[in-house]
A and B are shown apart, each in its own frame.
Chain A
Amino acid sequence: MKLAKRLLAYSLPYWRSLVAAFAMIMFTSLTINYLPVLIQRMTDQCLMNTSSPVAERIDLLTKLGILYISIAAIGHLVRYFQGLLTAWIGQKIIYDLRLEVFRKVLRMQQAYFDKTAVGTLMTRVTSDIERLQHFVTEGVVGTIADLFMLLGIMGYMIYISPTLSLSIFITLPLLFAIMFYINGKLRDANRDIRDRQSRLNALLQEDLTGMTTIQLFNREASAMADFDKRHTHLRSAYFDEVRWFSLYFPTVEGGQALSVLIILAVGGLLVLNGSTAITLGIFVAFLAYIRDFFRPLGSLSDKAGSFQVAMASIERIFTLLDTSEEVNEPAKPESPDRIAGSIAFNNVWFAYNDDNWVIKDLSFAVEPGQVLAVVGATGAGKSTVINLIGRFYDVQQGSVSIDGIDVRRFGKHDLRSRLGYVFQDPFIFTGSINDNIGLQTPGISQADMVHAAKTVNAHEFIDAMPEGYDTVMNERGEGLSLGQKQLLVMARTLAQNPELLFVLDEATASVDTATEILIQDALEKLMTNRTSIVIAHRLSTIRHADRILVMRHGELVDQGTHDELMEHDGYYRQLYELLLHSPEEEESL
């Protein structure tokens, strides 16, 4: 109930449209359902009224006919627009919700993404929202429309003949109960089908991915047997569905036929007993009402039970919206015009989870404009250093500061817009090369982008592409080599002109020597006149750094220039030698 109330709040901005939609629903119910009354009049006043002159009867017949078709036209037209309006309201509500969910996800802290699979998030913005949309448009508004339709029909029926109406209405609860029961069974069957289909699909997915393994181990026959088990299971759910489905329409048909029978019986007997309350026109009109009666009745009986399914989705969406965002924005964020560029770590302790300290009591400082290289074996905590400065995570103890200001006192967005990153896995967005370099940041001109690309040696291959800077990249930058992607990402970083720069320069395989030289050159240009921290694997970058930080198991081992460290640090010398002997860049498949 709380969920429904909360969901209802989303429809408040559209209350005017909602009121209009309800007015239209009432209007259609009143007009369309009036039509059989006209049929009754035509029958009684024109066709059967042998007492009036023929010409008069034909004249009235034509008049009533025109009235009939006009009302029908207006009624159905309004109904069409009501349908459109209702759909539009539903779309708007879903639009708002979808936007809210998306924005919420983007606001979540990095740690949330470490825990939550992309697939789960995708389900929230796609199928959960879709189910919600169905619920809002078909479910809520649909129910109201069906109800009004039903009430309209019943009202007119009582209006023209209370006796006949009552004799039909007493059968309704039973019919509704049967339809409700069948619909419930159908829903169960459909749920079984979905469950079993997805279990079959899970098996299938696994078997198709592992087909080579199955073949290697001669397991084809048993894979087939496993498949058949779930497949038969699915088939039996389908058979169940057929059983109930094949009952549904015959029940409706039977109900309709039964109502006709009641009309003929009750009406016929009344007429035979000499009652004047029942005319033949009423007969004909009732036959018309019976037809329209069962559609809203059937769909109501279906909707009555389907709300639970939607509720589960609604609950999941609201749970996501209610998840706390953890990294909190300062009340009064600092926002200096320009950062000079000094970075300091003061006794920083950090763990991704529990007591697994990844950074232990780390302190160091970088002067403005300096290039700092961080070296160490895998797992030494090097990349965490960068994550902490950009506030992807917040430190547990100690502090990280830029120009003496604790990073937690910056707004996240403002802070990150001052930082530039080059990640080891270059991320290419769907869109043109221009979009990938400029990121549609206001103030970056075409010339800036070309300049950036030229500086990092990316211009040449971009220019050689079919549409140059307008070439549209598909997902993950297919068609570019890894080296080219890295250059492109560097052009992006340079174009953003960040005040501080962080480079994750992991050794990458499958970059040919020529590109490797281009990348090294680009890196150097990127770091010129900029405070930079490089997680270094390339010897050239290490040697060119102003200072080198040597880390091991989250602790600072030593720092100094390359020459100093070579002189007195055995650990550094070993690391250096290892890099020296790294296998040459290999060409992969």
Chain B
Amino acid sequence: MVTRSCKADLYSGGQALPLRDRNRRTIISKEEIRLGRYFMPHRAEIIATVVCVLISVCINLYLPFIMRQVIDGLTDNALDRSALIHHLGTYLLLVVISVLFSRLLRKIPLKLSHKIEYALRTDVFDHLTKLDQEYYRGERTGDLMTRMSSDINIVRDSIGQGLLQGIRTIAVLVFASIVMALTDPGIALLVFSLYLPMVVIFFLILRVMRRQQKDLQEHVSEVSNFCQESFAGIRCIKGFALERRRNTQFEGLNSGLVKKNMVLQMSRQSLWPFMAFWFSFGMILILNLGGRKIISGELTLGMLTQFIQYLLYMQWPLLALSWTMSMMQRGKVSWVRVKEILESEPHIRESGTANTETGKLDASIQFRNLELAIKGRTFLHDINFEIPAGTTLGITGPTGSGKTLLVSLVARLMDPTHGTVSVGNKDIRTLPLTKLRGMIGFAAQEPVLFSRTLEHNIGFGVVKPDKNLIGWAAEIAHLRNDVENFPDQFQTILGERGVTLSGGQRQRTAISRAIARRPDILILDDVLSAVDTQTEAAIMAKLQPVMAERTALFVSHRISTLRYADEIIVIENGRITQRGTHAELIRHPGYYSELNTLQQLEEKLEEGA
């Protein structure tokens, strides 16, 4: 609503562009229907802002009138001491009231804008928790971060400043014109014909500045990319003795920075002197025109002073108009970017007919005629097999053959293109997501841990984790010794602010996290790739009974781990090429027996060492 009124003002003041104006309006109102919903709970505050503005503006227009009476009274010697004190008393009272409302007229809309910002960001985050893996694959985290922080901040600023400046500017314009026209139409006309071009020129300078700012910003990021590249590729630079050339290049970029900065400064530095000069110009015109009228007796000095005070008073709101308009433009762009998140729909959704029965499902898993394609490329073909409840399946195959995708399908991180994945013979798409995922403990090869305590991380998937459970889970994943060496044991904060875990420790924490849920289905996606063979053997020995109690799927490249599985499948290029027990597979030529030979050789090498 504010956007529209501001724009309307601009266009009604300048040469009207009816067609463009109308087009813009439709676009704006379409966007506003959605942003408008954030304004609805705050109607009272918007009305309060309007009231504060009206009071403040009226008082500020009345004050110069008192000034005029004092000055004219002094000129005509018509003022006595008590009348003067009366005037000054009124003045003081009005100033106090004006200051109070002047504060409120800022506080209310700005606070309101922060409330809307809060509600908006909460909604966006809430929506983000519902979006699936596919969405996150397509978006860069950095970009999402920008939308969540600076874009929402810009939207907030344009709401707050828009309300504040928009309402105030309109009020000032309307009331000041009325008062001035009533006092002296001639000078009033002069004031307006002076201010109009100033607002337009100011707006144009701001526009030029924005372009130059963007230019500079691009150069700044070029410079930081260059630095980033230089620091990250330092070995290469040193290896080829490129330091001097790199320095020269940087010098060039650095000079560019100075140049671009100076271009921006050329317009930025002009803003204030230009404005101040224009004001002086207006002042002298009024003094001259008004002065002649005073000399001829048509005007009093008090009235002239009153006008000069109005000139002063109108200066800021009018300049703010240009600034607010450019703010609104940026706000619109940012809002569109924020809205994009809110309008993205997750592909993985509870189906309308989600099975809500609370009965416990049988933990067997079935893959039927499964095919998975992402962006036109087929990653899994014709996958058909069943994992009976309580058995362990080992999955192996070359890097990139589709093993991770296969296990992701079980947790419904994505849906297959064709065919079905079922748990307990029920298509998982008919199960409530929380129920399905509640059955699963999942550990990934490169797990994400959170910068919280170790305890929090291990108990991550449990509603109320107790110490025994955490201890047990850490024990199974062979994490106990590591924990004892941490400064605060289970209370140690992970990440930059605390202990940075090694790859192996991260993986073992992820295992603990998965088994702490005591899940019906345990999925371990190559979680021992970063631990050495001995630790691996120790973990496997402890994991064995845990796996035996539930349905387990684990991906691994190590024969020593795979041999524990009840059944092993080999996936190559998205197809199952071999399946059977360890004993069966080593006897058949193929990927598995090759792998076996290779690892035996490695082992021998280790022993020889």
Contact = CB atoms under 8 A, between A and B. Distances in A.
Given A91-B258, A570-B608, A80 B594 contact: no
Contacts of B63: 257, 260
Interface string B107-149: 1001100110110011001101111110010000100110011
Interface stretch (B26-34, B173-181, B228-236): B228-236
A57 B295 contact: yes
Given A220-B129, A509-B399, A583 B595 contact: yes
Given A46-B291, A231-B118, A496 B261 contact: no
A207 to B, nearest CB: 8
A61 B98 contact: no
A161 interface: no
Contact of A242 (B110, B144, B227, B301): B110
A284 interface: yes
Contact of A280 (B75, B99, B220, B237): B75
B250 interface: yes
A204 B63 CA distance: 51
30 contacts: A47-B291, A54-B296, A61-B287, A76-B276, A79-B276, A80-B274, A83-B272, A84-B269, A87-B261, A95-B254, A99-B250, A99-B251, A121-B231, A200-B149, A211-B131, A212-B133, A215-B413, A216-B413, A239-B114, A250-B100, A257-B63, A257-B91, A257-B95, A390-B238, A423-B239, A429-B233, A439-B240, A439-B242, A578-B598, A581-B601
B5 interface: no
B438 A239 contact: no
Contacts of A87: 261-262, 265, 269
A430 B226 contact: yes
Contacts, number: 363
A148 to B, nearest CB: 15
Contact of A284 (B255, B295, B305, B461): B305
Contacts of B577: none
A417 B241 contact: yes
B141 A208 contact: yes
Contacts of B251: 99
Interface of B: 63, 67, 70-71, 74-75, 79-81, 84, 87-88, 91-92, 95-96, 98-100, 102-104, 106-107, 110-111, 114-115, 117-118, 121-122, 125-126, 128-133, 136, 141, 144-145, 148-149, 220, 224-247, 250-251, 254-255, 257-258, 261-262, 265-266, 269-270, 272-274, 276-277, 280-281, 283-284, 287-288, 291-292, 294-296, 301, 304-305, 308-309, 312, 379, 398-401, 411, 413, 433-434, 437-438, 440, 442, 444, 447-451, 460-461, 513, 517, 573, 594-595, 597-598, 601-602, 604-605, 608-609
A113 B398 contact: no
Given A216-B411, A260-B63, A269-B84, 15 more contacts: A35-B280, A69-B281, A211-B133, A217-B437, A220-B130, A246-B107, A257-B99, A261-B95, A265-B84, A284-B301, A284-B308, A412-B241, A417-B241, A430-B229, A510-B399
Contact of A496 (B106, B240, B513): B240
Interface string A250-277: 1101100110110011001101100000
Interface of A: 32, 35, 39, 42-43, 46-48, 54, 57-58, 61-62, 65, 68-69, 72-73, 76-77, 79-80, 83-84, 87-88, 91-92, 95, 98-99, 102-103, 105-107, 110, 113, 118, 121-122, 125-126, 197, 200-202, 204-220, 223-224, 227-228, 231-232, 235, 238-239, 242-243, 245-247, 249-251, 253-254, 257-258, 260-261, 264-265, 268-269, 271-272, 280, 283-284, 287-288, 291, 377, 390, 392, 412-417, 419-421, 423, 427, 429-430, 439-441, 475, 492, 496, 509-510, 552-553, 570-571, 574-575, 577-578, 581-583, 586-589
Contacts of B115: 235
Contacts of A245: 106, 110
Nearest to B245: A440
Nearest to A414: B241
A414 B228 CA distance: 25
B316 to A, nearest CB: 9
B601 A113 contact: no
B106 A197 contact: no
Contacts of A62: 288
A280 B295 contact: no
A125 B224 contact: yes
Given A69-B281, A218-B438, A578 B84 contact: no
Nearest to B591: A583
A250 B99 contact: yes
B605 A475 contact: no
B125 A583 contact: no
Contacts of A206: 448, 450-451
Given A106-B247, A392-B235, A439-B240, A65 B605 contact: no
Contacts of A413: 241, 243-244
A113 B237 CA distance: 13
B136 A208 contact: yes
B84, B128, B295, B461, most chain A CB atoms within 10 A: B295
A293 to B, nearest CB: 13
B52 to A, nearest CB: 11
Contacts of A48: 75, 301
A126 to B, nearest CB: 5
| 9 interchain residue pairs of minimum CB distance | A83-B269, A210-B448, A217-B461, A588-B400, A416-B241, A246-B107, A72-B280, A246-B106, A76-B273
A413 B63 CA distance: 74
Nearest to A87: B265
B295 A54 contact: yes
Contact of A586 (B236, B309, B399): B399
Contacts of A420: 240
A61 to B, nearest CB: 5
Contacts of A269: 81, 84
A65 to B, nearest CB: 5
A106 B70 contact: no
Contacts of B444: 213
Given A216-B442, A218-B434, A261-B95, A210 B240 contact: no
Nearest to A257: B95
Contacts of B230: 102, 105-106
B133 A42 contact: no
B102 A249 contact: yes
B273 A581 contact: no
A589 B137 CA distance: 14
A292 B198 CA distance: 19
Contacts of A68: 280, 284
A454 B189 CA distance: 78
Nearest to A411: B241
B234 A113 contact: yes
Contacts of A390: 238-239
B128 A574 contact: no
A39 B287 contact: yes
B98 A257 contact: yes
Contact of A204 (B145, B266, B272, B605): B145
Given A217-B461, A218-B461, A261-B95, A106 B237 contact: yes
B227 A577 contact: no
A261 B413 contact: no
Contacts of B250: 99, 102-103
A138 B378 CA distance: 59
Contact of A211 (B128, B226, B276, B305): B128
B460 A219 contact: yes
A271 B448 contact: no
A284 to B, nearest CB: 6
